Structure 1
Amino acid sequence: MTTSSELGKLIVVTGASTGMGAATARELARRGFHVLAGVRREHDAGTIRSARIEPVILDITRPEHVEALTTRVTDDPRALHALINNAGIQVNAPVEVLPLDQWRQAFEVNLFGHIAVTQALLPALLHSKGRVINISSIGGRIAMATYGAYAGAKFALEAVSDSLRREIAPLGVQVIVIEPGGIRTQMASRGITTANRLAARMTPEQDTRYSTLIQANNKLMASGTASGLTPDAAAQIITKAATARRPHTRYTAGRDATLATRLARLLPDRALDNILAANLRRHQPQKPTP
């Protein structure tokens, strides 16, 4: 529950153009916060702008954008209650296939950009005794086939979050991780488009090795998205992390995320490998009957 002392405080939400980020910005504004909503295009700014939502053009991989956001926060007399690091991209391809520049881009957006924004806003959060909320993924606990780059960045974000929490908890700043499973957003569809584009560039040998895997994974992503949480439901969990007096260090979002984290914790690697492989086989393209 939002307290009267929190009303009017600032919250920064990155990646707020659509999906979970936009839904979270709207829910926090409804609770009385003034939300600085990071968007990448002026069109998105016009879509999300409201009385308590102030769009900020923000590509977290561009230092000048991060600097402008920092100046905006520093110049505001209101306290910064929370930073919600939500921006992200999904890239799916086998480790052998994904070009190194795509690996670097995945880490720039899903890890280093969050670190840059966090470093820039930590002085304001230390002053206000605020909190950092990092939107990770079930991919930060389990790295499925073709998720090497995405899960690699999310695993790293989880580790950075743990380290940061232990560094700044004694200084009064809380660090919280959100681990969503399937969410009904455009992220998975964009990921499928990227996967198909990368697959089209594979060598014939790579196509033989991985084409069935990529097709099955695309169907699994689409299925998981269709049955996942709505952005509004995910926003409720993020808002709880932002407003709870004593928040957990981690929240899962969705039954699939809760189940997967339990399996990862309880099962040996080979057993988990077999379960994930069996799930993928259910989505493999059917061979034509002779």
Structure 2
Amino acid sequence: MSNTLNGLVVLVTGASSGIGEATALALSAEGARVAVGARRADRLESLARKAPGEVLALELDVTDQESVRAAVAATVERFGALDVLVNNAGVMLNGPIVGADITQWTRMVETNLLGSMYMVHAGLPHLLERRGTIVQVSSTSGRIASAYAGVYAATKFGITAFSESLRQEVTTRGVRVVVIEPGFVATELTDHNTDPTMRAAAQNMAASMRTLQPEDIANAVVYAVTQPEHVAVNEILVRPTDQIQ
């Protein structure tokens, strides 16, 4: 185990699979003490067993402000601080705007956008105290909107806007804000789609390219958070070489 992060305390949301799980394991390998949160808390126990360092598993629903505050409080109670927040929890429920089930829109806005805002709000007092780092996992959809992904893209554009405003507020107080924008990654994210056409389109897209692996994004997070204090890597866009948009 490396000591790059040497006991720093990290909280990762959406850590039960994919990018969140890979990021938690990568930061643990760098010496961090990691709190991992997700709705599927049973999956977090196996992550904790795999991690090289100390891990705290937390049942967390980022759409529930009380759950968010409790997760931050439990992290600080267990480890005594919060140095890095990785906002990764998200859902992607793509489909046409015409005739859409708007409950899916609400779910995406509440999870992807409001959920990350709630986490920042709860964690910020501790992060200011420690001159910490906030990592916002966005998407290429936060830069380029495409048909059938309008609401998902809106949530990711929102994350980018909120993050830049946040950066301007806190950067002179020592808190770094990092936006990570992954392209197509082989995760369970596309499985959230209930529309069979959208699922098939995602599968076809994945088959057409060498997709990124969750570990590729975890490596980008590690790079950003291990820079010297005076270096803020504010934005990292990572696409598969084969991805055009």
Aligned partner of 1:84 in structure 2 is: 86
Q: TM-score, normalised by structure 2?
A: 0.89
Aligned partner of 1:228 in structure 2 is: 211
* Structure 1 residue 3: Cα displacement: 6.2
* Structure 1 residue 190: Cα displacement: 3.0
Aligned partner of 2:108 in structure 1 is: 106
For the pair 1:45 / 2:39, whether they are aligned, the reply is no
- AA matched with 1:254: R
* Structure 1 residue 95: Cα displacement: 1.2
* Structure 1 residue 259: Cα displacement: 5.7
Name stretches of at least 5 consecutive residues in structure 2 with no aligned partner. Answer: none
For the pair 1:253 / 2:238, whether they are aligned, the reply is yes
* Structure 1 residue 52: Cα displacement: 1.8
* Structure 1 residue 105: Cα displacement: 1.0
Structure 1 residues 54-80: Cα deviation after superposition (integer angstroms, max 9, x where no partner):
211111011221121121133245432
Structure 1 residues 115-171: Cα deviation after superposition (integer angstroms, max 9, x where no partner):
001100100000000011100000000111100110010011110011110111121
CA contact (8 A) 2:11 2:37 kept: yes
3-state SS of 2:58 partner: strand
CA contact (8 A) 1:181 1:257 kept: no
* Structure 1 residue 174: Cα displacement: 0.8
Alignment match of 1:132 (pick from 106, 115, 134): 134
Structure 1 residues 86-138: Cα deviation after superposition (integer angstroms, max 9, x where no partner):
00000111111222221111100010011001100100000000011100000
Query: What percent identity do the matched residue pairs reach?
Result: 33
3-state SS of 1:54 partner: strand
Name stretches of at least 5 consecutive residues in structure 1 with no aligned partner. Answer: 200-213, 261-290
Q: TM-score, normalised by structure 1?
A: 0.76
- AA matched with 1:240: Y
Aligned partner of 1:176 in structure 2 is: 178
Output aligned runs, 1:51-200, within 5 Å: 51-76=53-78, 78-191=80-193, 194-196=194-196
Aligned partner of 1:241 in structure 2 is: 224
3-state SS of 2:180 partner: strand
Instruction: Report the CA distance shift for 1:258/1:161 in structure 2 as closer, same or farther (over 3 A).
Output: farther
Instruction: Report the CA distance shift for 1:157/1:215 in structure 2 as closer, same or farther (over 3 A).
Output: closer
Aligned partner of 1:7 in structure 2 is: 6
Instruction: Report the CA distance shift for 1:42/1:74 in structure 2 as closer, same or farther (over 3 A).
Output: closer
How many angstroms apart in 2 are the aligned matches of 1:259 and 1:13?
30
RMSD: 2.2
How many angstroms apart in 1 are the aligned matches of 2:145 and 2:127?
32
CA contact (8 A) 1:180 1:257 kept: no
Instruction: Report the CA distance shift for 1:158/1:137 in structure 2 as closer, same or farther (over 3 A).
Output: same
How many angstroms apart in 2 are the aligned matches of 1:119 and 1:257?
37
CA contact (8 A) 1:182 1:227 kept: no
CA contact (8 A) 2:184 2:243 kept: no
3-state SS of 1:49 partner: helix
How many residues are aligned here? Answer: 239
* Structure 1 residue 239: Cα displacement: 1.2
CA contact (8 A) 1:14 1:39 kept: yes
Instruction: Report the CA distance shift for 1:62/1:41 in structure 2 as closer, same or farther (over 3 A).
Output: same
3-state SS of 1:164 partner: helix
- AA matched with 1:248: V
3-state SS of 2:147 partner: coil
